[in-house]
Structure formats: C-alpha cells, structure tokens
Amino acid sequence: MEQGPFLAYVDPWINWDWLSTHISLVLGALGEHIELTAIALGAGLLIAVPLGVAAHRSAGLRLAALGFFGAFYTIPSLALFALLIPFTHLGGTTAEIPLIGYNVSILVRNVLVGLDAVPRDVLDAADGMGYRPLPRLLRVELPLALPSIFAGLRVATVSTIGIVTITALIGLGGLGSLIDKGLVENFHTPLVVAMILSVALALTADLLVVMAQRVAVPWARPV
Amino acid sequence: MDFLLLVGRWLVDPAHWQGSDGIPTRLVEHIHLSVESVVIGALIALPVGVTLGHYGRFGALAINISNAGRAIPSFGILVIAFQVFGLGDLPIVLALTALAVPPMVTNSYVALREVDPDIRDAARGMGYRELAQVLRVELPLAVPLIMAGIRTSAVQVVATATLAALIAGGGLGRYIVDGLATQDYVKTAAGALLVAVLALATELSLAWVQRLLVPRGIRLLNAPVAARATAFKVA
C-alpha cells in the first residue's frame, strides 16, 4: 500500500526472518489443512460409492441423486458455510458438510460413469461363471469402474484442497488462515507461503492418488 | 424455525431494498463483476481452445490448465491481486478472469477434438475451406461442450465474486462478510441465500441459452455432455 516517505519500507514477497520464527504456525496450518481435506475425501468416498452403486440400479434414484448433487455443487461454498452456521455453529461440522457434499457430487457421477461402461459381455461372462450379484459387483463391476472413480478422486482431491482455504473465513485453521492473516495485516509472507504450500499440497496429493491408482488398477494407466 | 423467519423478514424488509447497500445495488454489482470477467475470459479462452482443438496441438497444456486452475486457491488469488493492484474493481476482475479461463480452454479444446474425423473429411470433400469448416461444421457440433465450459466458468465466477467482498469489493458477498464480521448471522444467511439463488439462476439460464444454441440435429448427442465436461470448482 502507499507509504509515506518516512516509512519507505518495501514488504518483500517472502520475509525469511518471519518464516523462520513462525515455522510452527505454518506447519500447524498445513496439518489442519490436510486433516480437513482427508475427512472431506474419506467421507465423500464412503457416501458416494454405495450411493453410486444404488443409483446404477435404480433410474429414479439416479435422477434424484444427480439432480440434488448437481444443484448442491452449484452453490458457492461460502454461501453454504454461512447458511449452516446458525444450525451447526462455527467449526468443523459447518466446514465439512459442504466439502463432503461437493466430493459426493463429483464421485457419484464418476462411479455411475464407471459402472455404466462395464461391457455387457463381461457381465454375461461373470453370470455364466456363476457369480452371484454381490461378488459380481465387488469383484467384476467395481474393479472395472475404478479408473473412472480414481479420475473423480483426483478432481475431488485437488478441488477440496483449494476450497478448504475458504473455511478460514468461518474461523477454522488451515492454510486459508495464513491467507487471511496476509490480508488483514497487509503482509505478503503468510499469503505467499500459504499459496505455495496449497499448490504443493494439491500436486503431492494428486501424485499420491495417481500412485494409488497404479497399485489398484495396474491394467489402466492414468492420463 | 424462528431463525428462518428472521431471515425471511430480513429479505422482505423494504430498508434492505434501497440505497447503496440495498439488494438491487449489490445484485447489479455482483452481476456486473461476473459478466465482465466471464466475457473477457471467454474472449481469451475460446479462440485459444478452439484453435488448439482444431489443430490437435498442445493437448496436454489445454487439459492441464484446468488441473492447475483447480489447484490454485481462488481466495489467495483475490488477495494477491488486491495487494498488487490495490482497491477497486480491477484486481477483482483480473482475479475472476484468471479463474474463468481454464475450464473454457479445456472444454473448447475437447469439444473440437471430439468432432468425428469422418465429418471433417466430408466437409473437406464438399469443398469447405479451413475457416468455413471450423465455423460452419466443427463449431456447431462443438457447441454443447463449449457451452458446458462457459457455464462452469460462469458459475465459478459468480461463486468467487462472493469473496470479492473480502477485498473491499461490492456484490452480494458483502452481506455474508459483513454479517460474519458483526456476528449478524441473519444478515449472513440472507446474503448466502441470495448468492445461492444467483448461482443456480446462472446455471439454469445458461443451460437454457445452450438449448437455444445447439443445432436441433445434434440434440440427441447432448446427453453425455455432463460426463465429458471438466468438473471445476474453486469457491
């Protein structure tokens, strides 16, 4: 910002002295960020996979799930946080409900796309080999749907890490609290550190998901 | 239920429908910022995506720009733009435009790539020159996915414009941010409701525009667009 001639101090993009004395603050924020993200992804998967399997079986449920979560996905996170505060108050629950909902929106669609793409011949072959419905689902259909589910998980992971920064506005920690600190104190370092760590975290998490996919689905290489 | 009643009362209170902090003013500010950013973003992104898609070049770049866009926190981009450019609409529009570009590049690239090669050959065989082939054969076929990209960008810009209130901008986000700052959760919820309705209205009205733009002959190809379009959410 404009400074008078007697205060001609130029704020560097990274003030290493500040960083070295505030390293525990930064690492704490990173840890909170990872925790918020992990809960949102884990719960999102736990809901989306059974929901996707059920919606694959029932046309009515498919329409309802895609419609509801499609609309949910459209609503901005800050608006959902704000609407939930009176009911779930400031804190983790208020942050997680929208984050989990967004992840379910992405993942349920990809579960459906993956299950839809299982070839009819494969299902006939599995039936002919004597698979009952549940083993056929677990050992034939879901494994073949995994590449699509992993593709959704990658999008969900990177999106969640970005959106978690907004939870700082409802008083949660995470890297967003450093961005907020940079904004409120008009000080570049926490902002720049948070941006770098957030992008690095997103890239690392994406790489981890890709590696998990290589282990789980060795026959289909991720793009 | 009492709380919802208070929110309803806030929304119908005539005092909140006039003046510089009234709902009409804030709504116009929000729409103004969003439209400006989406239009500038489209003018940059669509020619790039369509050209790359037509020639099938730099595909990795066109696809990965959306991955990169998702990874960069929108809140941080706004704050950086504010610290570099100061107060005003300029940093907000710049930040929102940067967010609007990636999904439009990726989707228009994929849209052009997915035009059936047989149709391209047929167009060439009928004597279409390259530019005419792009404008009159490939683009109409690509409209559904290009529109999906514009829709995604627009919804994300409307969502992120809410955060502009944090850097002293206008728009409906003002009610959320001011309400949070003063612990006036009725105001916050009323603002959130308005923002949610605006985001849904953006999605639905652009879906309607898409229906108008898609040539009748290829409506049937419309169904799988949702699965092919790039999911993009940054706010």
The band of B166, judged by pLDDT with boundaries at 50, 70 and 90, is very high
The residue type at B112: L
Q: Is the pLDDT of residue B225 over 70?
A: no
Per-residue pLDDT of chain A (223 residues), as tens digits, is 444 455 556 778 888 888 888 899 999 999 999 999 999 999 999 999 999 999 999 999 999 999 999 999 999 999 999 999 989 988 889 999 999 999 999 999 999 999 999 999 999 999 999 999 999 999 999 999 999 999 999 999 999 999 999 999 998 989 999 999 999 998 899 999 999 999 999 999 999 999 999 999 888 766 5
Which of the pair, A58 or B230, is modelled with greater confidence? A58
Q: How far is CA A157 from CA A34, A56, A154, B75, B200, in A?
A: 11, 24, 5, 17, 24
Q: Which residue of A has its CA nearest to B163?
A: A78
Q: Tell which residue, B105, B62, B66, has the closest CA to residue A151.
A: B66
Q: Are B188 and B7 in contact (CB under 8 A)?
A: no
One-letter-per-residue 3-state SS of chain B: CHHHHHHHHHHHCHHHHCCCCCHHHHHHHHHHHHHHHHHHHHHHHHHHHHHHHHHCCCHHHHHHHHHHHHHCCHHHHHHHHHHHHCCCHHHHHHHHHHHHHHHHHHHHHHHHHCCCHHHHHHHHHCCCCHHHHHHHHHHHHHHHHHHHHHHHHHHHHHHHHHHHHHHCCCCCHHHHHHHHHCCCHHHHHHHHHHHHHHHHHHHHHHHHHHHHHCCHHHHHHHCCHHHHCCCCCCC
The band of B234, judged by pLDDT with boundaries at 50, 70 and 90, is confident
The band of B163, judged by pLDDT with boundaries at 50, 70 and 90, is very high
Spans of all domains in chain A: 15-216
**What are the tens digits of pLDDT across the range B3-18?**
889 999 999 999 999 9
Q: Is the pLDDT of residue B203 over 70?
A: yes
Is B76–A198 a contact, with Cβ atoms under 8 angstroms apart?
yes
Q: Which two tokens stand for residue A109?
A: 């669609």
Is B162–A76 a contact, with Cβ atoms under 8 angstroms apart?
yes
Which of the pair, B227 or A54, is modelled with greater confidence? A54
Query: What's the confidence (pLDDT) of residue A9?
Result: 67
**What are the tens digits of pLDDT across the range B80-138?**
999 999 888 999 999 999 999 999 999 999 999 988 889 999 999 999 999 999 999 99
Choose among B70, B158, B162: nearest Cβ to A158: B70
Spans of all domains in chain B: 17-228
Q: Is the pLDDT of residue B43 over 90?
A: yes
The band of B73, judged by pLDDT with boundaries at 50, 70 and 90, is very high
Q: Which residues of B touch A90 (CB under 8 A)?
A: none
Those residues with Cβ within 8 angstroms of residue A23's Cβ, 6 or more apart along the chain or in another chain: none
The CA angle A70-A76-A79, to the nearest 5 degrees, is 120
Length of chain B, please?
A: 235
Q: How far is CA B119 from CA A55, B54, B129, in A?
A: 35, 13, 14
- Dihedral pair phi/psi, residue A125, rounded to 5°: -65, -45
Min Cα separation A178/chain B (Å): 10
- The dotted CATH code for B17-228 is 1.10.3720.10
Q: Are B210 and B133 in contact (CB under 8 A)?
A: no
Query: What's the confidence (pLDDT) of residue A159?
Result: 96
Min Cα separation A161/chain B (Å): 7
- Residues 12-71 of chain B with CB under 8 A from chain A are 63, 67, 70-71
Query: What's the confidence (pLDDT) of residue B227?
Result: 65
Question: Which CATH superfamily groups domain A15-216?
Answer: MetI-like (1.10.3720.10)
ipTM value, please give it.
0.88
Give the C-alpha separation, B103 to B99, whole Å: 8
User: Would you call B178 an interface residue with chain A, using a CB distance cutoff of 8 Å?
Assistant: no
Task: Give the residue-averaged pLDDT of B27-53.
Answer: 96
